[in-house]
Amino acid sequence: MQLHPRHFGRHLRGKLVAKLMKDIEGTCSGRHEFVVAITGIESVDKGLIRYGTGFVTFPMKHQCVVLRPFQGEILEAVVTMVNK
């Protein structure tokens, strides 16, 4: 997870978790996986400074609920937004 230095301070971990939830929840990951919700954060490791940008990359391990439908499975859904 990349974070701008202006977010550093006492609430760094909270901001990392909020950014992770904003960026990851509700997205498609890989070929057949949809991330429904993040359920927990296992670890946040030391950050690595990105040369030239000032951003810091924090390796994070998290647990999440995913939807992985089987081929040919029919899912009921309500379309609330179309991206393309």
Buried b (16+ CB within 10 A) or exposed e, 47-70: beeeeeeeebebebebebeeeeee
Please give the pLDDT value at position 57: 92
What's the rounded mean pLDDT across residues 38-51? 90
Cα separation, 64 vs 49, whole angstroms: 27
Q: Say yes or no to pLDDT of 48 above 80.
A: yes
- pTM score > 0.85 for this model? no
Distances (CA, A) of 75 to 27, 28, 54, 60, 68: 17, 16, 44, 31, 11
Q: Say yes or no to pLDDT of 81 above 90.
A: no
* pLDDT confidence tier of residue 32, bands split at 50, 70 and 90: low
